[in-house]
A and B are shown apart, each in its own frame.
Chain A
Amino acid sequence: MVFSSAVFLFLFLPAVLVLYYLPVFFWNDAWETARKNTVLCLASLLFYAWGEPVYVILMLLSIAFNYYIGLDIGRHADRPSRQKIILAAAVVFDLLILGFFKYGNFLIDNLNGLLAWDIEPLQVSLPVGISFYTFQILSYVVDVYRGTVKPQKNPVAFAMYVTMFPQLIAGPIVQYADIEKRLGKRQVTPESFFDGVTVFLRGLGKKVLFANTIGRFYTEIAAGDVVHASAATMWLGIACYTMQIYFDFGGYSDMAIGLGRMFGFEFLRNFNFPYLADSVKDFWRRWHISLSSWFRDYVYIPLGGSRRGTLRTVINLAVVWSLTGLWHGAAWNFIAWGAFYGLLLIGEKFVWAGILPKIPGWARHIGTMMIVMIGWVFFASDSMGDAVVFLRSMFCLNGNAPWDAAFVYYLSSCAFPLALMSLSAFGICDRMPKPRRQALRLAGNGIFYAVVLVLSVICLVSSTYNPFLYFRF
């Protein structure tokens, strides 16, 4: 089930909210949080089972295993070596499951290609959200081992942490330490609830009104004759994708954060105007923050971070960015995408660190945007070969023209939506003056979000199924 569907908006979400809050009016006792956790956990399992009826079993088994692992680590607090063995077993088990479903066929394809073997591909599909929930589970067992959080004794609360539907399918990756307290007790005020509603609607608008609209232009350009299309058309196509992926994933994250707030959880921000970045490092501080933070806390720092000399830092960065690429998908274009950023970050840290501050701010912004757009070519393409062809066309290396009539046609069609989206993506909307009186501000917000909801619903009922881009990860 996707957030931007009529079933979710008009059936699932209202039903869950009623079941979640209605008992509060009848019983105000010590079991309130337990009741809420149970409702949210069951609703999340139904949400997942809607699209993945079989893999809900895998997720439940994974939850059960890691729940017992957490307790086991906690019980061996006086025996660190034993704790280490239990942690290693859990990490190996969780990564094996992720590896089997996500990377099994990629490995088989490469072995068959390299060694001329003939291994049959695995007949399995990728369980939705497995990359996200595996990382959440790993953050829990590692934190229990480190002693930064206590083992969760309540299986329902732990299951709810893993399955919570607002962020189950496509993040943000919520670290256990960030919501541990709210699993036990949380309060929702009318203000925080309606704040959650507005954040959710903002995300819905980003996805339905912006991402879906601009995505059509990229789809059309990419599905055309990429080899002979003009360079300007290809740049315009990838500019459209640049906006699409930001509003698609950013919209999903806003919806998840808004839903979380409606149920009393505070998820950390996942995007902070990434296209305002003036360096690659700055970009990754602003884009998919929950994933970068996870890799920093559970891979980069444990490997030694930047504290063990230049060579070790370079290796650590290379490892982290190859894994970041691989996390996004089992294909060489994703690994190339990760390596591309790894090399640029190593360069920024050790090669051109002294030059960057001397470049004017506007030039740094433009340069970073171009790098990001080139990076999205690897990300958006179906294979490494497709990415190379696309890139060659962007730089007139396929014998294609710099521009043509098709470019003018596409530009005239998408200039307005692109300009409108840029106002939001570059934070210009947020800097616009707002009414000083609170009543006026509230009324303005109310009207604005009501319009967003109505327009989104109109778009939803007149369009076909349109899942989020990050679902495939």
Chain B
Amino acid sequence: MKALRLKEILCVLLTVAFIVLVTRHEPPSSVSAQDMAAALCRVTDVSALDECKNADFRREIQLNPNDYDGVVFYSSPNIMEVRELLVVRLTDESQGEALTECLRSRVEEKRKLFHAYAPEQEALLDGYVLENTRGFVLFAVSENPEAVRQTFKETL
């Protein structure tokens, strides 16, 4: 009987410890999506890209931009242009999974499109950057993926 009670108490203590641990992870960054995008634009060339409106985000990503705290999206209507930069500041960190899943399938679709006939585009897509941390999702297809990743982490 006592052993059973001890196991119950142990479960409660472990649950409390778990909750303390998950609530003590790094909090969401206070940087705005615009500031983050501005910092990233300094390390990746977006001059050939357009800053997209909400409707473009909805059409391209098929998610509602109003669900997020901030969205900055650079893309191009040119079909052969694969470079993109997307910065999303999440309202709730739980939104990150759906968004990253969506972006992953977007890259896969594009990769199939360019496979075997446009090696440059395919190589750029292979090095795509996708980060989901501290309330931000970053997606970039760029010539400088490492610089983008590094700047993103530093700006956070």
Binding site for B on A (CB under 8 A): 51, 54, 57-58, 61-62, 64-65, 68-69, 71-72, 75, 93, 97, 100, 122-126, 219, 223, 382, 463-467
**From B22, B58, B64, residue with most partner A Cβ within 10 Å:** B22
Q: How far is the CA of A71 from the CA of B7 in the complex (A)?
A: 11
Within the complex, what minimum Cβ distance (angstroms) separates B104 from chain A? 8
Q: How far is the CA of A65 from the CA of B7 in the complex (A)?
A: 8
Q: How far is the CA of A122 from the CA of B28 in the complex (A)?
A: 11
Q: Name 18 extra pairs, CB < 8 A, besides A75-B4, A466-B62.
A: A54-B22, A62-B15, A65-B15, A68-B4, A68-B7, A68-B8, A69-B8, A71-B4, A72-B4, A93-B12, A97-B19, A100-B19, A123-B25, A219-B58, A464-B63, A464-B105, A465-B101, A467-B98
Q: Is the CB of B94 within 8 A of A126?
A: yes
Chain B residues with CB under 8 Å of A466's CB are 62
**Interface positions of B from 9 to 36, Cβ below 8 Å from A:** 11-12, 14-15, 18-19, 22-23, 25, 27-28
Chain B residues with CB under 8 Å of A51's CB are 97
Within the complex, what minimum Cβ distance (angstroms) separates A73 from chain B? 11
Q: Is the CB of B23 within 8 A of A61?
A: no
Chain B residues with CB under 8 Å of A61's CB are 11, 14-15, 18
Chain A residues with CB under 8 Å of B4's CB are 68, 71-72, 75
Q: Which of A64, A124, A464, A465 is close to B22, meaning CB atoms less than 8 Å apart?
A: A124
Q: Which of B19, B62, B67 is close to A463, meaning CB atoms less than 8 Å apart?
A: B62
B79 within 8 Å of A (CB atoms): no
Within the complex, what minimum Cβ distance (angstroms) separates B137 from chain A? 13
Count of B residues near A, CB < 8 Å?
33
A-B contact pairs, 18 of them (CB 8 A): A54-B22, A57-B18, A58-B19, A64-B7, A64-B11, A65-B12, A65-B15, A68-B11, A97-B15, A123-B23, A123-B27, A123-B93, A124-B22, A124-B23, A223-B58, A382-B66, A464-B63, A465-B105
Q: Is the CB of B58 within 8 A of A464?
A: no
Q: A64-B11, A124-B23 are in contact. Are A58 and B18 (CB under 8 A)?
A: yes
Q: Is the CB of B105 within 8 A of A125?
A: no
Q: Is the CB of A72 within 8 A of B105?
A: no
Chain A residues with CB under 8 Å of B54's CB are 223
Within the complex, what minimum Cβ distance (angstroms) separates B143 from chain A? 25
Q: A93-B12, A465-B101 are in contact. Are A125 and B94 (CB under 8 A)?
A: yes
Kindly supply a per-residue 1/0 record for chain B positions 72-105, scoring 1 wherever the CB is within 8 Å of any chain A CB and 0 otherwise.
0000000000000000000011100110011001
Q: How far is the CA of A75 from the CA of B63 in the complex (A)?
A: 52
Residue of A nearest to B5 (CB): A72
Within the complex, what minimum Cβ distance (angstroms) separates B78 from chain A? 21
Within the complex, what minimum Cβ distance (angstroms) separates A4 from chain B? 12
B123 within 8 Å of A (CB atoms): no
Q: How far is the CA of A57 from the CA of B15 in the complex (A)?
A: 9
Q: How far is the CA of A111 from the CA of B58 in the complex (A)?
A: 35
> 6 closest A-B pairs (Cβ-Cβ)?
A65-B11, A125-B94, A465-B101, A465-B102, A464-B102, A61-B15
Chain A residues with CB under 8 Å of B38's CB are none
**Interface positions of B from 44 to 70, Cβ below 8 Å from A:** 54, 58, 61-64, 66-67
Q: Is the CB of B102 within 8 A of A123?
A: no
Q: Is the CB of A219 within 8 A of B64?
A: yes
Q: Is the CB of B19 within 8 A of A65?
A: no
Residue of A nearest to B28 (CB): A123
**From A72, A93, A123, A465, residue with most partner B Cβ within 10 Å:** A465
